Amino acid sequence: MEFRQLEYFIAVVETGSISAASRKVHVAQPALTRQMRLLEEDVGTQLLDRHARGIRLTVAGRTLYSEAIRLIDDRSDIKARLLAMGRGQTGKLSLGVTVTHLWVPEVAKLMGGYRGRYPQVALDVFTLLSGPQLEKLNQGGLDAGIIYHDDHAPSGIKAHLLQRDHLILAVPANSYWAQSPPTRLLELAETEFVWGYRGISPVYYDRMVAHFSRLNFEPRVVQYGADNITILSMVAAGLGVSIVPAASRSHPMSGICFVELEDLTTCDMPLWLAWRAGNVSPVLDNFIQMAVEIFE
For the chain, list the domains and their CATH numbers: 3-86 (1.10.10.10), 91-164+270-295 (3.40.190.10), 167-267 (3.40.190.10)
User: Under DSSP, is residue 215 helix (H, G, I), strand (E, B) or coil?
Assistant: coil
Q: What is the pTM of this model?
A: 0.71
- Digit-by-digit pLDDT tens for the chain (296 residues) are 788 888 988 898 898 888 898 999 899 989 998 998 998 998 898 988 887 777 888 899 899 999 888 988 888 777 767 776 666 777 899 999 988 888 899 999 999 999 999 988 889 999 998 888 999 999 999 999 999 887 666 778 999 999 999 999 999 999 999 999 999 999 999 999 999 988 878 888 888 999 999 999 999 999 999 888 899 999 999 999 999 999 999 887 899 999 999 999 999 989 999 999 988 789 999 999 999 999 97
Angle, CA of 163, 164 and 165, to the nearest 5°: 115
Other beta carbons less than 10 A from residue 142's beta carbon = 24
Q: Report the b/e string of 243-275 with b at 16+ CB within 10 A.
A: bbbbbbbbbeeeebbbbebebbeebebbbbbbb
Instruction: Look up residue 56 and give its DSSP letter.
Output: E
**Interatomic CA distance for residues 199 and 212, integer angstroms:** 18
Give the number of other CB atoms < 10 A from CB of residue 190: 6
Question: How large is the angle between the packed helices 202-214 and 130-139, nearest 10 degrees?
Answer: 140
> Which one-letter DSSP state was computed for residue 140?
T
Residue 91: what residue type?
G
Residue 178's nearest CA partner among 187, 168, 170, 167 is 170
pLDDT of residue 76: 79
* Contact call for residues 64 and 95 (beta carbons, < 8 A): no
Q: Are 180 and 243 in contact (CB under 8 A)?
A: no
Cα separation, 26 vs 69, whole angstroms: 20
In this prediction, residue 84 carries a pLDDT of 63
Distance separating alpha carbons of residues 178 and 244, to the nearest angstrom = 16
Residue 244 contacts residue 205 (beta carbons within 8 Å): no
CA 190, distance to chain mean position in Å, is 44
